[in-house]
Amino acid sequence: MNINVRDGDTLWYYSQLFDVPLQLVIDSNPKINPEQLTAGSSVAIPGYVRHTHTLEKGESFWSIATKRQLPLDALLLLNKEVDPENLQTGETIYLPIRVAKSIVKGKKKYDYDSLMRDLKRLETVYPFIQKDIIGQSVEGRPLHEIRIGNGEKKVHFNGSFHANEWITTPIIMTFLNDYLVALTNRRTIRGLSPAPFYDNVTLSVVPMVNPDGVDLVLKGPSAESEHRENVIKLNKGKKDFKEWKANIRGVDLNDQFPADWEVEQNRREQSPAPRDYPGTKPLSEPEAKAMSELTRKRDFDSVLAFHTQGEVIYWGYNEFEPPETEKIVKEFERVSGYEPVRNVDSTAGYKDWFEQEWRRPGFTVELGKGTNPLSLQQFDEIYQKSLGIFLASLYM
């Protein structure tokens, strides 16, 4: 919600008036000097939307403010062109409405368009979000990174490396939305205040690494796609793509990283396929390359790659993981019930490469149980179990 500055107003006053943490107001207005507001300039207030209201007979600013528990000056601020002493029945005014519920409705078939709509709406309501395009998929879909917070500790989440594990994206997005609601409403999540996390942690999220593959699983091959005939051929003519893990070129993106990649090359598929083909070389695919470049650029302290299924957390790789990784994964186990597994016979994954290159904690979190793609009937249970992991990654 945007408002126009009056003489004498400050960002601190707005934070008090709308009951929003000052730092969130400052971060929502990065081009404004908080010490020198200019009358008439526009300021974004996070966590609010502007709502139109048609005046009924006998209504006044005072009665509306009292009924809706709004600060009277907030009404005056949003309606500077309105004479509060001469209100007319049927006249339209603006109300500041606090967003107290989730925007993201993740319990659905969550494709790339769903992600884009939700990101746009979250950016509008929570303008302190930082968003970057880190690359493009094979078919040219922008890959988005979202960052929240100002802390020195840098934590990264990602989802949907594998196409038929798309449920990881709405799970992550649901947490992001809950985190944002809690920040702007000064609420707790499971008894934890998010305010210290915002100050101490910079959270980076790539919610959908493989958008082409996700859309292929959920909607089938597009009639306009240049890859249509090839993916149908690789899928042996089947119109159901629910078993597809790879990107649109038939390369498994989580077998693309230079951590014993040659081992995977020798024992996996030898040509493009719906799953398990590591490509012709490490980082041959634009999605994997984008994740590699982002990770080097951001220099994360820890990473969590969300996959499905099994309710396990893989946390080691060839003893490259530092000692604190075990302490962290035990906390993940405590808050989620998921089983920690140090080593698994797998190489060339994103988490493996991160631990090998940085010697820092990395985790592959396998959400839910069953056969991929998991049923949406599991969504609520998966979210409640994963919520503890999301939170613990910020305080551990």
Q: Which residues are catalytic?
A: 366
Residues 6+ apart with CB under 8 A from 57: 89
User: How many angstroms separate the CA atoms of 179 and 134, rounded?
Assistant: 23
Instruction: Compute CA distances 278 → 77, 164, 336, whole Å.
Output: 58, 17, 31
Identify any residues that bridge with 340 across adjacent strands, giving them in sequence order. 313
User: How many angstroms separate the CA atoms of 266 and 219, rounded?
Assistant: 32
User: How many angstroms separate the CA atoms of 214 and 208, rounded?
Assistant: 8
User: How many angstroms separate the CA atoms of 31 and 117, rounded?
Assistant: 25
Q: What is the DSSP string of 164-210?
A: GGTTHHHHHHHHHHHHHHHHHHT--BTTB-SHHHHHHEEEEEES-S-
Length of the chain: 396
> Both tokens of residue 26?
């400052």
Residues 6+ apart with CB under 8 A from 260: 318, 347, 348, 352
φ/ψ (deg, to 5) at 363: -140, 135
Q: Is 333 helix (H, G, I), strand (E, B) or coil?
A: helix
Among 289, 344, 280, residue whose Cα is nearest residue 317: 344
Among 217, 234, 96, 240, residue whose Cα is nearest residue 161: 217
